[in-house]
Structure 1
Amino acid sequence: MRHVTDLSALGWTAERLAELPPDSAPARVSRVDRGRLRVLGACGETRVHPAAVLYDEAGTGGPAVGDWVAVRGELAVAVLPRRSAFVRSVAGRTSAAQVVAANLDVVLVVDALVGETRLRRVERYLAVAWGSGATPVVVLTKADLCDDVPAAVAEVAEDALGVAVLPVSSVTGAGLDAVRALLGPGSTGAMVGPSGVGKSSLANALAGRTLAETREIRESDGRGRHTTTARELHLLPGGGMLVDTPGMRELGLYDDAEGVDTAYADVASLAAECRFRDCGHRSEPGCAVAAALDDGSLDPGRYRAWRKLQAEAHRQLLRVDARARAQERARLRTFSRALREQPNRPR
């Protein structure tokens, strides 16, 4: 790890001074190891213990990679307010959340230009990335193994509305300068994506040295295997920072309704044009979504993915928000009462 004494190189800004508790010093979390934090500060890299009061039931309050913490001696006593955070829900029927990385300027949604169809997977990551508060960018790796890179990029770009799509090759170096340009001095990016898409190779290529071990790709589908085992913040030669994350078998949404509508802005815009505000987009008259499906201007697969993520975000909201649960119960009671009061209802 390169030694840093100027905190601005780690993304520190003067306005954060007001957020520091008395008699503490700022440091940035580069790794979380079994309850201990590896942090970068004015004195270089050190290890500190997080105070118990930093953790909450939701799981979002504890220190995460990329967080700024206030340190007194060997104790982190506070997590400073986050400017952005990539958050996913913990697997299972739970309201708990996991902060993958915090205080990001850009989220690099990484997938490979080989193997299985990637559109729905990229859309899911973009929904969470839009909800993070950072700028999402799609990075498509292994361009050297793709027969028609422009066509593959165009296919993803058609669905990744308002997002740059960059093809790269960690082998030939093609496209790496465009990614480096996103990670200027003091800026922080995080790579997210499934296992085997080349995140570790990309991190090594951007850093110009080995940050993470890599494994040879499989001949059957051109995909690699999971190598990164923990999230870690790395300093890059150009002055930027990069968080490498393990591949995610499951990316659950956590309170990301707004991110879903941003990722699917075309579908959300159609839904806003429906005659009825509570349109179910099935057989209701004046449904703009149904009309777009009928005339072929809306891809049925993209529509189904939007509905699926909307429902997932709604379920998660009900788990974490007591007021939302009460409103949902009231809505269901009103709906049931309306059914009972229908004059032609079978008795």
Structure 2
Amino acid sequence: MSSSSSSSAHSSSLLGSSSHPLTPYGWDAGWEAEFAPYAAQGLVPGRVVRVDRGQCDTVTAEGVVRADTAFVTPHDPLRVVCTGDWAAVDPDGSPRYVRTYLPRRTAFVRSASSKRSEGQILAANVDHAIVAVSAAVDLDLARVERFLALAWESGAQPVVVLTKADLVADPVTVSHLVQDIESAAPGVPVLPVSSLHGEGLDVLAAVVGGGTAVLLGQSGAGKSTLANALLGEDTMEVQATRDVDGKGRHTTTTRNLLLLPGGGALIDTPGLRGVGLWDAGDGVGQVFAEIEALAAECRFHDCAHESEPGCAVRAALDAGELSERRLESYRKLLRENQRIVAKTDARLRAEIRKEWKRRGAQGRAAMEAKRGRLR
């Protein structure tokens, strides 16, 4: 038997084993079936646990190996190798290469911080997106809604964690913060947690255990402390919270995938100063599901929810059933997402221009009618 045939047979035997070494990292029958053609080529499966400048650390059946990503560096930034990918890696050699990666089940993508029309992929094959929100600073519900839109769009189940609950002296205040977040996060668990005292960690671990979770949030939201608490060890470097404003300094500089002691894996990410949407129309709709349901009852299908007759959204606003803040947040995210999509979608650009012209014509006609009445 040739060395390649031997390697292929060895890979197939590992893949078929119920005690595959990669099972703790999320390997399952579905991934096994996807990988079968690459196993036949003698390649070995591995999960990417860290990416750094054209190289990646990939955990395989033999342990963590350093692999070059030169064969998987397309011009599209959304198709580069990222943390969480399942890769097909050379069985040996120096250097070893990632030859391809399996189609992603989910992908967390944001608009790149550059001015170019590009997306940036933060994590792949994630089951839960943990959005960390600090209880020690003023609550920004619009930012929470923004994170949730991206999380829903990724295909993962969002979870909001109210961190640093120990820094809030009054438990009633914590309860009110949770209620405020729940009002902006329909269908999303909101869990208050004190990483310092361990309160709420068991509930969070039970929610995200068994799959892969990505930890997201602003700089200083307490992500690294939360990651250490979930991991049961000081894996992530943490800098002390400032007494003056309750903020910490973000210390994570790369995205790392680590195993949780109770099962499952966690991807920690650097603090995100900017969280731009990237083709997240469905995610925005999920976050503002009650507004979308109301909009479906408006008299006109293209209702802008401003002064049109028969607007169910305005009726809910006037009745106090919908807040002005939430409606404005919805509008803002819709406009932003539309601009992003229009940059990469010529058909939508044309539709937007057509709509602008239609509304402009309506505005001019209204002005002419008004002038006619005044004469």
Over 3 Å counting, the alpha-carbon distance change for 1:155 and 1:328 in structure 2 is closer
Query: Does the alignment pair 1:232 with 2:256?
Result: yes
Q: Equivalent residue for 2:108?
A: 86
Structure 2: how far apart are the matches of 1:111 and 1:167? 9
After superposition, the Cα gap between the structure-2 partners of 1:123 and 1:181, relative to the gap in structure 1 and judged at 3 Å, is same
- Is residue 34 of structure 2 the alignment partner of residue 19 of structure 1? yes
Aligned to 1:292: 316
1:173 corresponds, among 195, 198, 202, to: 198
Residue 32 of structure 1 aligns with which residue?
Answer: 51
**Is 1:201 aligned to 2:220, yes or no?**
no
Contact 1:139 1:166 in 2 (8 A): yes
Deviation at 1:115, TM superposition (A): 1.0
Matched, 1:55 2:69: no
Residue identity in the other structure for 2:281: A
Q: Which residue of 2 aligns with 1:71?
A: 89
- CA separation in 1, counterparts of 2:213 and 2:22? 17
Which residue in 2 is equivalent to 1:164? Answer: 189
Matched residues, percent identical? Answer: 46
Gaps of 5+ in 2: 1-18
The CA distance in 1 between the partners of 2:331 and 2:352, in whole Å, is 18
Contact 1:88 1:100 in 2 (8 A): yes
Quick one: which of 154, 165, 169 aligns to 1:132?
A: 154
Partner AA of 1:15 in structure 2: G
Q: CA deviation at 1:285?
A: 0.6
**Cα deviations by residue, 1:239-278 (Å, 9 ceiling, x for unpaired):** 2100111110000000001100101111221122111111
Which residue identity is paired with 2:188?
V
* Offset at residue 62 of structure 1 (A): 0.4
Q: Which moved more, 1:250-259 or 1:68-77?
A: 68-77
8 Å CA contact 1:226, 1:247 repeated in 2: yes
1:9 aligns with 2:32: no
Q: CA deviation at 1:338?
A: 6.6
Residue 139 of structure 2 corresponds to residue 117 of structure 1: yes
Indicate conservation of the 8 Å contact 1:191/1:243, yes or no. Answer: yes
Q: Counterparts in 2 of 1:238-317, with a 5 A limit? A: 238-317=262-341
Aligned residues: 342
CA offsets 1:158-185 (integer angstroms, 9 cap, x no match): 2210000001101110000011112334
8 A Cα contact 1:5 1:44, kept in partner: no
**Partners of 1:338 and 1:167 in 2: CA distance:** 49
Say if 1:150 and 1:53 are closer, same or farther in 2 by CA, change over 3 A.
Answer: closer
Report which of the two has the higher share of helix.
2
CA offsets, 1:85-134, max 9 Å, x none?
Answer: 11101024432111111100100011111111231111111111010101
**C-alpha distance in 2, partners of 1:249/1:312?**
17
TM-fit CA distance, 1:342: 8.4
SS at match of 1:181: helix
Q: 1:190 aligns with which of 214, 227, 238?
A: 214
Answer yes or no: is the 8 Å Cα contact 1:112–1:141 preserved in 2. Answer: yes
Q: Offset of 1:216 from its aligned partner?
A: 1.1
**Code of the aligned partner of 1:8:** T
* Aligned residue identity for 1:282: E
Unaligned 5+ runs, structure 1: none
2:62 corresponds, among 22, 33, 43, to 43
What displacement does 1:221 show? 2.0
Distance 1:222 1:329 in 2: 46
Counterpart CA distance in 2 for 1:5 and 1:210 is 28
The alpha carbon displacement at 1:331 in A equals 3.8
Q: Which amino acid aligns with 1:155?
A: D
